[in-house]
Chains A and B, each alone.
Chain A
């Protein structure tokens, strides 16, 4: 999966509110994530079957008022969220976060690719 240089390297990470996160990437792209949506995309083994990739938790399973309790860097490559429902086992690599960018441009690109 070749991508533009810096496309998966964040230049800024900003928690806009308890429900919204912004990442500005080194290629200039900006992503704004809604917390509850991200929670429904959690890549951990309880939320997604490790072997089949089948999702066990989907965004529709997540209450709309779910909040970030804590956001931490994992080494140099990922973010870990602790949510107001207590869940905290998901490690979201920057590669994954870039793929999850909800902006219209990325969604359009994603639907072509998959």
Chain B
């Protein structure tokens, strides 16, 4: 070992850090430009690792590996790693009407009632819990359900001609249900009115700076999706399915719709995939296992995870606080948080690889 005599240098430390890979972006953290503010003071080494999302699924693993490698350099006494994150913008977003929103993510499904809204609320709240700035838009202008799920139904304030989004569970959210006092029947919008109503919820809101704006779509393939796809260059969409939509057949139409509008599919989530016994906590795959996972891999779409059928998920939604906030240590919350991290990773991958397209 000749290294003992070499004085500790930035190059020496960076050479070790080049061995740490970001498994999602498949490059080392030095090449990716994640290492910032490196300082060496005697044997004390400090640096930041600036990731592309605070919800990075392998954040701790990367920090530990970096720490371990640098600690092993002769002459190093202490290592202090500061984890930071800066969510990248989807390339086309910065120029559009929602320039302060970095990513728009739609949550859709083929069938109704599969748990889109429940999943959307929990994923958004989990992303916010990781430290990201998150908005949630209720795209279901026909039967808005987010005000109930977030426990806020009062009409929003206005300032400077814009709607101030309501806040709950760490989210800024907007819903037609806040503007129109909804009777029990679905709202009916005629033709272009649906388009206008949805655009108002999207554009007339003072969202502020957002890393992620999650949009909960109404069931099926309709006007709202098309309006959204025409209004903003979405980062991508998440499909929620249940074990009953055999082999995802029901969602194929939805997939096709996203494909036609060139909205990338960020992944599939299987909801109500298994049952957790309320008494003993055992997992019971009531509907058979792995259907959506298999279908996703056949279609070459990332599989983000499985959410159990869990009465606590429903009762928290009914009480107005998503389970990931109300009971963060519950088994279902852990799963939902992991899925939100997988989603954040897919967003980072998309943005990293996405070509910038402009009209020259």
Contacts and interface: CB of A to CB of B under 8 A. Distances in A.
Most chain B C-beta atoms within 10 Å of own C-beta, residue among A9, A77, A94: A77
Interface stretch (B150-158, B226-234, B273-281): B226-234
A93 B263 CA distance: 13
A13 interface: yes
Interface stretch (B12-20, B164-172, B351-359): B351-359
A14 B360 contact: yes
8 contacts: A9-B262, A73-B92, A73-B359, A75-B229, A75-B230, A75-B261, A76-B262, A77-B261
Q: Binding site of A, secondary structure by majority: helix, strand, loop or mixed?
A: strand
Interface of B: 92, 228-234, 260-263, 355, 357-360
Interface in A1-37: 9-15
A66 to B, nearest CB: 18
Closest 7 interchain pairs by CB?
A77-B262, A14-B360, A76-B262, A77-B261, A75-B229, A76-B233, A13-B359
A48 B261 CA distance: 20
Nearest to B236: A76
B99 to A, nearest CB: 14
Contacts of B359: 13-15, 71-73, 79
A97 B62 CA distance: 45
Nearest to B355: A11
Contacts, number: 51
A91 interface: yes
Contact of B262 (A13, A14, A72, A75): A75
Contact of A73 (B234, B261, B357): B357
B234 A93 contact: no
Nearest to A79: B359
A74 interface: yes
Contacts of A71: 359
Contacts of B230: 74-75, 78, 91
A79 B233 CA distance: 12
Contacts of A91: 230
Contacts of A77: 229, 260-263
B359 to A, nearest CB: 5
Nearest to A11: B355
Contact of A75 (B232, B355, B358): B232
A101 B15 CA distance: 50
A95 interface: yes
Contacts of A76: 92, 229, 233-234, 261-263
B249 to A, nearest CB: 19
A5 to B, nearest CB: 11
B260 A93 contact: yes
Contacts of B229: 75-77
Nearest to A77: B262
A82 to B, nearest CB: 13
